[in-house]
């Protein structure tokens, strides 16, 4: 049984309401219930914050031990060296996820401070990217045993 932490950054609390043409019409909490059913043999934890410091504190709290982390840092992906340092400092594998294809959007979204310190990145696949990240982390953690 794997422990997977799904961490969402700024404005992702507005999924379903914020720019549905980009981010879709589903609320994340609704999708999270489906993820929990799909991965019923594992423990999925969820944390969302609009504050950079809160995200860093959460990563420091859960990022050691036999866990995996799915991280959608939102706009902090493109601006936060501190968040990248937090990911680099922990031992848990982290998969970066973005709902939209950041490479097909504004130029400032093309750079990720997180990608170099994550085990992988999934972009542009909508909420399905979270499920792919969870599946990968479960397999990754099982192979570490």
Closest CA to 71 of 45, 91, 94, 104: 94
Q: Where are the domains of the chain?
A: 3-144
Catalytic option among 23, 76, 113, 130: 23
Catalytic option among 5, 58, 76, 98: 98
76: annotated active-site residue: no
Whole-number pLDDT of residue 25: 73
Q: Would you say residue 27 has pLDDT above 90?
A: no
Whole-number pLDDT of residue 67: 97
23: annotated active-site residue: yes
Question: Looking at the whole model, is its pTM more than 0.75?
Answer: yes
Of the CA atoms within 13 Å of residue 66, those in its CB half-sphere come to 12
The domain covering 3-144 belongs, at the CATH homologous superfamily level, to Dehydroquinase, class II (3.40.50.9100)
Q: Which helix (H) or strand (E) holds 46?
A: strand 43-48
Cβ(83)–Cβ(106) below 8 Å? no
């Amino acid at each position: 049984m794997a422990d997977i932490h799904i961490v969402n950054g700024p404005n992702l609390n507005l999924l379903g309401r914020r720019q549905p043409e980009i981010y879709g019409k589903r609320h994340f909490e609704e999708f999270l219930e489906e993820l929990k059913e799909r991965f019923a043999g594992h423990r999925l934890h969820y944390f969302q914050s609009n504050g950079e410091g809160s995200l860093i504190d959460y990563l420091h709290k859960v990022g050691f031990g036999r866990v995996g982390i799915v991280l959608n840092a939102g706009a902090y992906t493109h601006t936060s060296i501190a968040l990248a340092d937090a990911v680099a400092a922990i031992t848990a594998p982290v998969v970066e996820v973005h709902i939209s294809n950041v490479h097909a959007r504004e130029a400032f979204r093309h750079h990720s401070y997180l990608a170099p310190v994550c085990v992988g990145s999934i972009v542009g696949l909508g909420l399905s990217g979270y499920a792919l990240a969870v599946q990968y982390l479960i397999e990754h953690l099982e192979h570490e045993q």
